[in-house]
Amino acid sequence: MGPRKASEIFLNRHPEAVAFEVILYGSLAATGKGHLTDVAILDTLQPHATVEIVWKPSVFLPFHPNGMTFRSKNSSGEVTDEWTVFSVGGGALAEEGKPFDETPELYEMNSMTQILSWCERTGRSYWEYVQECEDHDIWDYLAEVWSTMREAIERGLDQEGVLPGPLNLRRKASSYYIKAKGYKDSLKSRGLVFAYALAVSEENASGGRIVTAPTCGSCGVVPAVLYHLQKSREFSDTRILRALATAGLVGNIVKQNASISGAEVGCQGEVGVACAMASAAASQLFGGSPAQIEYAAEMGLEHHLGMTCDPVCGLVQIPCIERNAYAAARALDANIYSAFTDGNHRVSFDKVVAVMKQTGHDLPSLYKETGEGGLAKDYEQM
């Protein structure tokens, strides 16, 4: 999403260009083909001019591992402009030292501890803080998000066959869904959650339309949990949208204070954060107090600390798809665990976010979306 958005911006600046050159650096180059980065760039620029993509996986720009440089050229082959920008996770862009999109600051409080204190002081919940800070159209936006999430699940459940790429990985969502229907309630519930998460993740792996929650690689967790709870517990759309608002708040706290980029902090910043978001949403739906919601989110992230981003062949398939299914189940467990407590615990969500950021920086680059370490190293088809 980031490279596509950057391509659109650069094209709008230079519609007169005869040719474009795009240089991809670091993680963006190492896993770019598996993540369909080149497809996103070519689909945007190639209808208007010739495009050359240069891959530099061994060059890491200091600001962020996902760097890219766009160059426009005239008919003489001369470079008329150059722009270096970074894809920092979830479709967001940044220039060195600052966000690319200088939107006004909407949220006065940027830590969970501050917002939890506000909730306890005012008697309100997290979604009400979102409502207080955002524009009036926030609920229309979240309704579109929820509709897109549902559609991704339902499309994914209908699809069969093999995912694109050299792994020849067969889609599993439809078979999990059918098998789950044959079990009694406990196993059926878990199997359906797996199926929903697999459905969205498989849609992502095949280039389908999904919601970054918080990223493409972790897009199956939040929709799976919310879809399952709405189907099984008959929660209204209004309550689901409020849960989405809380989930989004959790994700944005992490994005503000750490990172949601697998290339920067590993999969803990993607699937781990998605699990925290879904855990908080589930806790809220089941009537959790602000403290219990914070605790559920804390557990969702804490128990993914240190998780590496090591996609086999650079594809968002192995281990990414299964991780989404497991994280969705973990989110439901985090809600149950939190519900057995009064919400009091020793390690705050903000502390875990800080630890996640430091852990991510301490991880060797091999384990941060390069497709060269961990499970991706020396992979052989079984």
User: Are residue 27 and residue 132 in the same domain, yes or no?
Assistant: no
Question: Has residue 103 been placed in a domain?
Answer: no
Question: Has residue 378 been placed in a domain?
Answer: no
| Predicted local distance difference test score (pLDDT) of residue 220 | 98
Calpha distance 85→88 (Å, rounded): 9
Residue whose tokens read 């914070």: 294
Q: How far apart are the two ends of the chain, measured CA to CA in Å?
A: 32
User: Are residue 235 and residue 276 in the same domain, yes or no?
Assistant: yes
User: Are residue 73 and residue 176 in the same domain, yes or no?
Assistant: no
User: Are residue 64 and residue 160 in the same domain, yes or no?
Assistant: no
What 8-state DSSP symbol labels residue 73? E
Q: Which of 174, 178, 199 is nearest to 188 (CA)?
A: 178
For 313, the domain range is 112-367
| Predicted local distance difference test score (pLDDT) of residue 35 | 86
Question: Has residue 106 been placed in a domain?
Answer: no
Question: Has residue 241 been placed in a domain?
Answer: yes
| Predicted local distance difference test score (pLDDT) of residue 101 | 64
Question: Has residue 77 been placed in a domain?
Answer: yes
Question: Has residue 376 been placed in a domain?
Answer: no
Helix (H, G, I), strand (E, B) or coil at 67: strand
User: Are residue 76 and residue 199 in the same domain, yes or no?
Assistant: no
User: Are residue 158 and residue 207 in the same domain, yes or no?
Assistant: yes
User: Are residue 1 and residue 62 in the same domain, yes or no?
Assistant: yes
Cα–chain-centroid distance for residue 83?
A: 25
Calpha distance 380→66 (Å, rounded): 27
Q: Which of 232, 230, 250 is nearest to 240 (CA)?
A: 230
User: Are residue 120 and residue 259 in the same domain, yes or no?
Assistant: yes
| Predicted local distance difference test score (pLDDT) of residue 104 | 76
User: Are residue 253 and residue 281 in the same domain, yes or no?
Assistant: yes
**Domain of 42: which CATH number?**
3.30.1330.90
| Predicted local distance difference test score (pLDDT) of residue 110 | 94
Compute the chain's Rg from CA coordinates: 21
Taking each helix axis as running N to C, give the angle between helix 221-233 and helix 138-158, from 0 to 180 degrees, rounded to the nearest 10.
Answer: 90
| Predicted local distance difference test score (pLDDT) of residue 99 | 65
Count of domains forming the chain = 2
Both tokens of 194, joined, read: 């797996």
Please give the angle made by the CA atoms of 263, 269 and 273, to the nearest 5 degrees.
155
Both tokens of 316, joined, read: 């968002």
Residue whose tokens read 């699990």: 275
| Predicted local distance difference test score (pLDDT) of residue 382 | 66
Question: Has residue 131 been placed in a domain?
Answer: yes
Residues near 332 by beta carbon (within 8 Å), at least 6 away in sequence:
193, 225, 228, 282
Cβ atoms of residues 210 and 200 within 8 Å: yes
Question: Has residue 229 been placed in a domain?
Answer: yes
Q: Where does a domain end: 25, 60, 94?
A: 94
Calpha distance 45→8 (Å, rounded): 8
| Predicted local distance difference test score (pLDDT) of residue 260 | 96
Calpha distance 84→77 (Å, rounded): 19
Going through the chain in order, the beta strands assigned E by DSSP cover 19-25, 50-56, 67-73, 79-89, 92-95, 98-99
Question: CA distances (Å), 360 to each of 93, 251, 268, 344, in order?
Answer: 20, 16, 8, 27
Both tokens of 347, joined, read: 């390690």
User: Are residue 69 and residue 191 in the same domain, yes or no?
Assistant: no
User: What is the mean pLDDT of each successive set of 10 residues along the chain, which is 382 residues long?
Assistant: 94 96 94 89 96 95 94 96 93 80 82 98 98 96 98 98 95 98 94 98 96 97 98 97 98 96 96 98 98 98 97 94 98 98 97 98 93 90 70
Please give the angle made by the CA atoms of 41, 43 and 46, to the nearest 5 degrees.
85
Dihedral angle, C-alpha 105, 107, 138, 353, nearest 10 °: 110
Q: Is the Cα dihedral 63, 66, 72, 76 positive or negative?
A: positive
Q: Where does a domain end: 94, 126, 144?
A: 94
